[in-house]
A = this chain, B = another copy of it.
Amino acid sequence: MYQLSEQAEPVPSGSSRTIDIGYIGGGSQGWAHTLINDLAQCPDLAGSVTLYDVNYEMASKNALLGNRVMDRDEAVGDWSFEATRSMDKALDGADFVICSIQDPPGETFVHDIDVPQEYGIYQTVADTVGPGGAIRALRAIPQYREIAATVRERCPDAWVINYTNPMTVCTRTLYEEFPDIKAIGLCHEVFKTQKLFAEMAERYIDEAEDVARDEVRVNVKGVNHFTWVDEARWRDRDVFQYLDEELDRRKPLFAREPGDLDGESYWVNNEEVALDLYDRFGVLGAAGDRHLVEFVPWYLSIDEPEEIQRYGIRLTPSSARVSDDEGPDEMERYLEGDAEFEFHESGEEAVDIMRALSGEGTFVTHLNYPNEGQVDGLHEGAVVETNALLSGDDVTPLCAGGLPDEVESMVETHVTNQETLVRAGFEGDLDLAFQAFLNEPLVTVSRDEAQELFSKLVELEREYFADYDLDASVLQA
């Protein structure tokens, strides 16, 4: 008898799909180790991973680690890893390209954080917007143009999965350089929002127990790290409606004193800013608070770093960024057998996404993609973050609707700045870039200080600005 069932999917192919992955930034520990973990546990994909990194030695170690892990019995996946000194080689004929790169923090990130502080501008992260984010964007654009050009030449049909910040500008650059590229940008921040709603479901809905993050469907819209949610559902139940109750439960917000968080992680997140934005604007900020505060001037209007603790978050000092870059100790321990690589549930979706794009099922998640109408009111072509349906070789954004007027205005300011930065990057025009820099909400200093700050940052990171015209008038203060 006919069994009513889920929508027909093509019958599973039975044998594993074989795919080739090129990994740019393959010397990293974080992302590469997660990928090794997830591939090892994926039963229906197999293939090769070619790791490219400016730090070839680290890429080699990752390859070694990857191959060793795959040899273990618990590893169901069949994968081989290899390191290369050539981006061309890494991408040649790839089915998927993963990008996760970072300039040496000591030469870059540290300045992005510390120099603005000399002008009284504090940034919690400094990797997306604000003076630091703007400079980082300008550095990234030539690098991402090169990646896109290599994709065009070596693997034009590959899917590119970007993890690098500034997410919006990097992904946008890929499309600007190679409009036919198939690229998406992935970020975890909205997971936090889903988690918040999962907890709320458990709290406010009787039959909801042990609700997993990805059981909650949220309507996501905005730009990366300045995303918003106006609907949340678990099964057919509206969870969003309980935000007022949740807000009451937590009030008063911002009751902490400077110093209260001194012992906490720099990455502490208490969702108070997200909720305060909901309280004022009716839609929930959907990223960690340390990201959200950088998009508007009124939280980071502080005189001392500790003051930001009022909002339940901390600044990430530049020192924490340098140490990020140090200590490949864990890797050494793995390779020397002092520690064993433990399989775990990473929570990452990259492998699920590669499965879906390879034709194994469909998958819905939020991602960064050029706006073709999914967010009403934001510029067409700008990279926005919304939900999308991924299926065999295809990504289709879901219509997310628009934002409340004032929120749209705040988001569109950043969209404009990011678009201007990309244009400035392609034209090598720092005067144009400075237009966006001045218009950054965190740049609340005087016009001349802003110019001085901008010039100083470019000067300090001069070697990263080889593609820019350094005779720009903005630098001639």
Q: Which chain A residues numbered 365 to 418 have a C-beta less than 8 Å away from chain B?
A: 365, 372-374, 376, 387, 389, 391-394, 396-401, 404-406, 408-410, 412-413, 416-417
Given A2-B343, A214-B7, A405-B416, A397-B394 contact (CB < 8 Å)? no
Interface size bucket, A side?
35 or more
- For the complex, is A97 an interface residue (Cβ under 8 Å from B)? no
A208 to chain B, nearest CB (A): 9
Q: Residue A254 at the B interface, CB < 8 A? A: yes
Q: A409, B399: Cβ atoms under 8 Å?
A: no
| B-side contacts of A355, CB under 8 Å | 4
Q: Does A10 contact B (CB under 8 A)?
A: yes
Known: A281-B435, A412-B409. A231 touches B394 (CB 8 A): yes
Question: Is A455 at the interface (CB under 8 A from chain B)?
Answer: no
Contact segment of A105-113, A147-155, A295-303 = A295-303
Known: A3-B41, A391-B233. A444 touches B301 (CB 8 A): yes
The reply on A446 being an interface residue by CB < 8 A is yes
- Contact: B357 with A236, CB < 8 Å? yes
Contacts of A392 in B (CB 8 A): 217, 233-237
Q: Is the CB of A8 within 8 A of B398?
A: no
A243 to B: closest C-beta gap in Å: 14
Q: Is A93 an interface residue (CB 8 A)?
A: no
B2–A345 CB distance below 8 A: yes
- Contacts A364-B362, A446-B299 given; does A439 touch B217 at CB 8 Å: no
In the bound complex, CA of A254 to CA of B6 (Å): 39
Residue pair B280, A438 in contact (C-beta under 8 Å):
yes
Residue-wise, chain A 255-278 has the 8 Å CB interface mask toward B (1 for contact) of 000000000000000000000100
Q: Which residues of chain A from 127 to 165 have a CB within 8 Å of any chain B CB?
A: none
Given A237-B359, A396-B399, also A447-B298 (CB < 8 A)? yes
Residue A361 lies at the interface, judged by CB distance under 8 Å to chain B: yes
Residues of B within 8 A of A41 (CB): 1-4
What 0/1 pattern do residues 338 to 365 of A give for CB contact below 8 A with B? Answer: 0000011100000110010111011111
A409: chain B residues within 8 A (beta carbon): 412-413, 416-417, 439
Within 8 A of B (CB), among A418-449: 419-420, 431, 434-436, 438-439, 443-449
Q: A43 contacts the other chain (Cβ, under 8 Å)? A: yes
Most buried by B among A235, A363, A401: A235
In the assembled complex, A78 has its CB within 8 A of some CB on chain B? no
CB distance from A17 to the nearest CB of B (A): 9
Cβ-based interface call for A329 (8 A): no
Q: Assess A450 versus B298: contact at CB under 8 Å? Given A233-B393, A397-B398, A401-B372.
A: yes
CB distance from A422 to the nearest CB of B (A): 11
Q: How far is the CA of A428 from the CA of B422 in the complex (A)?
A: 35
Residue interface mask A225-256, B partner, CB < 8 A = 1:
00000010111111000000000000000100
On whether the beta carbons of A10 and B215 are closer than 8 Å, the reply is: yes
Point out the residue from B215, B231, B399 that lies within 8 Å of A8, measured CB to CB.
B215
Known: A2-B343, A231-B394. 14 other contacts (CB 8 A): A2-B344, A4-B42, A217-B392, A237-B359, A297-B297, A299-B447, A301-B449, A362-B364, A389-B389, A397-B398, A406-B416, A406-B417, A408-B416, A413-B413
By a beta-carbon cutoff of 8 Å, the part of chain A in contact with chain B is 1-4, 6-10, 13, 38, 41-43, 74, 211-215, 217, 219, 231, 233-238, 254, 276, 279-281, 296-299, 301-302, 343-345, 351-352, 355, 357-359, 361-365, 372-374, 376, 387, 389, 391-394, 396-401, 404-406, 408-410, 412-413, 416-417, 419-420, 431, 434-436, 438-439, 443-450, 473
Would you give 28 A-B contacts (Cβ < 8 Å), ordered by A? A2-B41, A2-B343, A3-B41, A4-B355, A10-B211, A10-B215, A13-B235, A217-B394, A219-B396, A233-B393, A233-B394, A235-B359, A236-B359, A236-B393, A238-B393, A280-B431, A298-B444, A298-B446, A298-B447, A299-B446, A301-B445, A373-B373, A374-B399, A389-B389, A389-B398, A406-B420, A409-B412, A412-B412
